[in-house]
Chains A and B, each alone.
Chain A
Amino acid sequence: DVKVTQSSRYLVKRTGEKVFLECVQDMDHENMFWYRQDPGLGLRLIYFSYDVKMKEKGDIPEGYSVSREKKERFSLILESASTNQTSMYLCATAETGTNYGYTFGSGTRLTVV
């Protein structure tokens, strides 16, 4: 089974802090994604990456950046955390050219105070 590990389950940060969310996968999947999930809005794509050092903006990239220096690791960075970034953050991976869907990490519930 693909395992997708997110570094923290719960995180509390202060407004203005720089926040790093880490995601590591143990399979050789090319594609990695960062979503946030909010009640009533569903999952919204922040950024995705289809290869090392490659990144593409999703639907809501403002206030976020990403880093993919190694194939297995995809990091989401909140440059200056704000209260409207309080959310559940989900990392996902997928293999290119298949119809197997995504595999998600267990999520990080971030609260910005």
Chain B
Amino acid sequence: RKEVEQDPGPFNVPEGATVAFNCTYSNSASQSFFWYRQDCRKEPKLLMSVYSSGNEDGRFTAQLNRASQYISLLIRDSKLSDSATYLCVVSKYNNNDMRFGAGTRLTVKP
């Protein structure tokens, strides 16, 4: 079983739609959680950290469920520019042991 698993998609949604991705992780000792965004042929960039209480950044909401060992990302009012691959990242320690999911591909269409 992979340490971090994501549905690879693709998710094809119209502009303005709400879309959610889930990610599950296998190591219950995981401490830090992140969502990264990766555009085609570009490097991953940090989208947001995920906190235990859940957190929101504009149209993006991240949630953590430690009991079920999954994190989620919700995107509201999707924009064309949201089209990208979203990587789920989990870490046991501070910055030295990060594990990446293979990514979920999102395409937002006009």
Contacts and interface: CB of A to CB of B under 8 A. Distances in A.
Nearest to B51: A99
A48 B43 contact: no
B94 A104 contact: no
Interface string B10-46: 0000000000000000000000101010000111111
Contacts of B43: 90, 104-107
B94 A101 contact: no
A102 interface: yes
Contacts of B101: 42
Contacts of A43: 44, 87, 100
A40 B32 contact: no
B94 A97 contact: yes
A92 B47 CA distance: 15
Q: Interface range on chain A: under 10, 10 to 19, 20 to 34, or 35 or more?
A: 20 to 34
Contact of B102 (A41, A99, A106, A109): A41
Contacts of A103: 46
Nearest to A56: B96
Interface in A84-113: 90, 94-107, 109
Interface of A: 31, 35, 40-43, 48, 50, 90, 94-107, 109
Interface of B: 4, 8, 32, 34, 36, 41-46, 49, 87, 89, 94-96, 98, 100-103
9 contacts: A31-B95, A48-B96, A94-B96, A96-B94, A100-B49, A101-B95, A103-B46, A104-B45, A105-B43
